[in-house]
Amino acid sequence: MTMRHTKRQLGRSGSVRRTLGLGIVWLCASVALPAVANVTAGQSAPVFTLNDTSGKAISLSDFKGRTVVLEWINPGCPFVQKHYRSANMPTTQKAAADKGVVWLAINSTATSATDYLAPPALASWMQQHQAQVTATLMDADGRVGKAYGARTTPQMVIIDPQGVIRYAGAIDSKPTARVEDIATATNHVNQALGELLTGKPVSVPVTRPYGCSVKYAS
């Protein structure tokens, strides 16, 4: 086999890998979704009560007068894995907690989905990845996810102490599953919280979320 032929084969192999990778990302982000609300910044946050992974009922109203971050999560999603395996999401969570912000992770994955994790398994995964959340909530029927217009994992919402949504969208500005892109991305949550907590208007209140589609029950 000639060197030229070998290089041609390697080139084709690399091209196939890139194509497959893009195909996986496309499938992850482009599955048709059931109807969800169109919730955006400036609207009142829908109230809800969900059980956490230990079975305790947690209500948004429990945190009246405090800033709250909602994070839609599915550990089976490579975009979620990007932000947890790199420690980007736990670091963002801790920075928020250090400022007195409540952080609620919400799993709206249907129990019938292949990547659904039961509450104990999800709690274990969060602990393994050193998540710094106030609570991890189960929303298997998708009621809360649909009320907030959650379409992807991860997807973020920031609610001010008056119960008004001040940010809705992506965790950052690089819509990829590549860990190396985190270093050059703008962390929209850090930016919005920094502005909100210092009394400034949120300069970028809405961005387009990216990630895997939420696997709703119907």
Q: What is the pLDDT of residue 35?
A: 59
Give SS3 for 50. Answer: strand
Q: What is the pLDDT of residue 15?
A: 39
CA distance to 106, 131, 169, 200, per residue, from 123 (Å) = 12, 10, 25, 35
Q: What is the pLDDT of residue 205?
A: 97
Tell me the average pLDDT across 163-183: 97
Q: What is the pLDDT of residue 115?
A: 94
Tokens matching residue 78: 């490579």
Query: Strand pairing partners for 68?
Result: 102, 159
Domain ranges, ordered by start, for the chain: 1-30, 31-213
- Residue-wise pLDDT for 117-152, tens only, equals 999 999 999 999 999 999 999 999 999 999 999 999
pLDDT above 60 for 29: no
Q: What is the pLDDT of residue 14?
A: 43
Q: Which CATH fold topology does 31-213 show?
A: Glutaredoxin (3.40.30)
Whether the Cβ atoms of residue 45 and residue 60 lie closer than 8 Å to each other: yes
Nearest Cα residue to 73 out of 40, 25, 105:
105
C-alpha span between 50 and 122 (Å, rounded): 15
C-alpha span between 30 and 26 (Å, rounded): 6
pLDDT band (50, 70, 90) for residue 39: confident
